[in-house]
Every structure is written in C-alpha cells, then in structure tokens.
Amino acid sequence: MPNDQDLDNAIEAIVVDAYTADEQHSAFLAVIEDETPLPTAATLLGTPVTVTSIDYTNETRGLVATCQGPDGAGEVTLADLAFPPDIVTAWIHAAYRHYLGLTPFPAQPRPEWTWPST
C-alpha cells in the first residue's frame, strides 16, 4: 500500500504548475490520459468494467470515466473505480484519491515515479 509521503510527492509532481482546483483536476486528467492506454480494465463496486474514456467537466464531479459494464455503458466518477494495483494507473489513481481526501485503493508503490516521464 502506498504511504502518504509517496502520494504527496506524486501529487506535487502532477499539480506543480496548477494553482486553482480546475487546473489541478485538469493536471490529473492530463497525467491519467498520458499514462493510461484506453480502453482499460477497472472495477466498480467489485464489478469488472472497461474504461473507454476519462474527462473533466467541473470541480464538483471531478474526473469522470465512461465505462462499459455488464449492464451497459455510463459515466461514473473516477474516484469510484479501482484499477489493477500493479499498473501505473492505479498509482496515479491512489494519488488522486489521496488528493481528494479519500483513502487510496491498493496500488503498487512507485516512489520514483515522475511525470512527465523522463
């Protein structure tokens, strides 16, 4: 499980030049888009889904994902999804949940992760 300091460092790398909440959410969107090949697998409340797109529309909703699941397609808040813990997306997602004040879902710690990738 990632520790708070590693997540804080990841958040700092992501939002380094973002000053407003909108800019910070947009920064997280840019990182997720750069690091996540779509479509990608995730789970929503334990149900497997396929994430087909990720977007940001406003601060209240935060990042949202369009998902295809067994009951059809729809939009959910990205924070509600869980990703396989061994992929980079899970690490960024853990940082995003930490940024939102939520408990991160399991992710492989990546204390040396930087963005943009060098």
- For residue 118, the model assigns a pLDDT of 52
Q: What is the mean pLDDT of residues 78-93?
A: 96
Q: Are 44 and 28 in contact (CB under 8 A)?
A: no
Spatial distance between the Cα atoms of 108 and 3, rounded to a whole number of angstroms:
10
Task: Summarize pLDDT for 27-40 with one digit per residue, the tens.
Answer: 999 999 999 999 99
